[in-house]
Structure 1
Amino acid sequence: MTQNAQNTQGTEVSTVVVTGASGPTGSRVAAAARAAGLTVREATRARGFDWRDRSTWEGVLRGADAAYLVYPSDVGAPEAAEAIGLLAREAVAIGVRRLVLLSARGEGQARPTEEALAESGADWTVVRAAWFAQNLSEGPLVEEVRASGELVFPGGAVREPFVDLRDVADVVTAVLTAGERYAGRTLEVSGPRLLSFGEAIAEIAAAAGRELSYRAVAPRDYGERLAGFGVPPEEVEYLVELFASLLDGRNAHLSDGVRQVLGRAPRDFGDFAREAAAAGAWKG
């Protein structure tokens, strides 16, 4: 694909709105979409888009062919579902029918948001992702690992099929440009093998060439640590409830969404760890 991406129905998709384009998933979706020959409109606050201000939505949506939707993860389910539903209906009303939503595999709190999208009248697809490998190389968790050499987290001994965000972005881009092939479907994506958080940290330590450890704590104890770091009480409560449910073993299985959409195996966690280590992700 060079100039425009051709979907399975023969309709060209040339302009894609990417919400959260300054974040870890949105930035990679934007990069993958550009690599596929698409024009990307970055829907970020820096560019005048605000999920909480409906007056900012039409300008970024009008004239686009498709959109990738990711709502801020620190917001409660009712607010996220309402905003996704409203934006999806507005997109459909002005001609942007192809919408792809990022969701979380096994996360019950995300279901109202998925349902709001499905009820909007859009040609929708939900991509449910396993735990991101990049959660351990960028963002809040990695700062503690760099500074102390230890990850304190409520993952217990649960095993997770960590998925590389580049695979998520590639799947989203393929779905955006696939016409009706994936419309009305939910795709689950994961990495190729199961690892506990302790095993993941051990692989990271080997790749980074430094001693690193993992200490499991209860979700409520983790919430107290977050509060001590100044995280707002409502966000602490949301995260405690999220981790208590999401990390209970329900996700200890593989999903074939990457192979189903891309026709290849997902990237391995070991490859991710070596690449991130080479880039200095865990240097003290």
Structure 2
Amino acid sequence: MKDNILVIGGTGKTGRKVASKLVNLGHNVRIGSRSASPAFDWDHSETWRESLQGMNKVYITFQPDLAVPGALEAIEELTRQAKRSGVKKMVLLSGKGEREAELCEQVVMHSGLDFTIVRASWFNQNFSESFFLEPILEGFVALPQAEVKVPYVDTEDIADVAVAALLNDKHNGKTYQLTGPRALTFKEVIAEISEVSGRDIAFTPIALPAYVNVMKQQGVPADFVWLIEYLFTEVLGNPNNAEITNDIEHVLGRQPKDFSDYVKETTTTGVWNPKALV
């Protein structure tokens, strides 16, 4: 039996992979994004009803993060509209160790719909598709919390778990915490990328207040500065986030991708080659 599945954030790091895997399995997929038709815009709840129409399952990624102010109200409204539209199941991508995000999780858990919560550690792809990429290309990375270890998880693994959760009722009511197989510091991460890519990339620890000031001086939007400060204090500052889980193995029956394998694969794409930008 084929499902009609709305993938909110279907052009993002995990969403595009979830959508692709579902399409390959023969399911009917609707992309939830501002550029899609019908358009889905988190900032305009009046756009959501048309995207939800006819869908029986939804994969939810919230931008920029479930911890930001306004996310709780948005998830509450989305859940109300989803129930009215006849949605039967929601799979929510959340953040591992984010207390504010857990309030959004509770909304989904108590919605009366079938659900699965997928809490992910920081993504491997933050270093190739997100805000860490630019300093890597410049060859100089300065970050706070330099000695904190993070069990980075690959978006391919997250997508595989999300697809399993969407399609199999045995995952209903479950909360999974997804991590990679080992934890690394920022210094170790940059060293691996530098070695495999053959580039000289320097890493320097920096105090969080100084890092925040640099972002402000560069004109980074205030809401993004808030999020980064939150993530570096509340999330990276939480020792529980270094915990390595076996939930990927439990759900998928295989080991999660190691960071080294991600680095080897990503290096072949040329994304860390500054000449690729010329």
Q: Deviation at 1:224? A: 1.0
Q: Does 1:283 align with 2:267?
A: no
- The alignment covers a number of residue pairs equal to 271
Residue 79 of structure 2 is aligned to residue 88 of structure 1: yes
| Match of residue 169 from structure 1 | 159
Shift of residue 76, structure 1, vs aligned partner: 5.5
The SS at the match of 1:204 is: helix
**Separation of aligned partners in 2, 1:62 and 1:170:** 25
> Residue 191 in 1 paired to residue 157 in 2?
no
Give the conservation status (yes or no) of the 8 Å contact 1:18–1:29.
yes
Q: TM-score, normalised by structure 2?
A: 0.92
Work out which of the residue numbers 41, 49, 65 in structure 2 matches 1:58: 49
1:238 aligns with 227
One-letter code of the match for 2:83? V
Candidates 102, 112, 116, aligned match of 1:121: 112
- What secondary structure sits across from 2:118 in the alignment? strand
Cα distance between partner residues in 2 of 1:56 and 1:62: 11
- Report what 2:62 is aligned to: 71
Q: C-alpha distance in 1, partners of 2:159/2:226?
A: 29
Shift of 1:62: 1.5
Partner Cα distance (2:221, 2:43) in 1: 19
- Counting aligned pairs with the same residue, the percent is 37
Partner residue of 2:263?
273
Question: 1:130 and 1:234 mapped to 2: Cα distance?
Answer: 21
CA contact (8 A) 1:82 1:116 kept: no
Q: Please tell me whether the aligned partners of residues 77 and 113 of structure 1 are also in contact (alpha carbons under 8 angstroms).
A: no
Inter-partner Cα distance in structure 2 for 1:166 and 1:82: 29
Contact 1:78–1:112 at 8 Å: present in 2 too?
no
Matched, 1:224 2:180: no
Q: Is the 8 A contact 1:74 1:235 kept in 2?
A: no
Offset of residue 28 of structure 1: 1.6
CA distance in 2, matches of 1:69, 1:224: 32
Distance in 2 (CA, whole Å) between partners of 1:221 and 1:13 is 52
Conserved 8 A contact 2:120-2:158:
yes
State the alpha-carbon separation in 1 of the partners of residues 268 and 235 from structure 2: 30
Matches of 1:46 and 1:37, distance apart in 2: 23
- Give yes or no for the alignment of 1:100 onto 2:116: no
The alignment's TM-score, normalised by the length of structure 1, stands at 0.91
Matching residue of 1:33:
22
Aligned equivalent of 1:130: 121
Q: CA deviation at 1:124?
A: 1.2
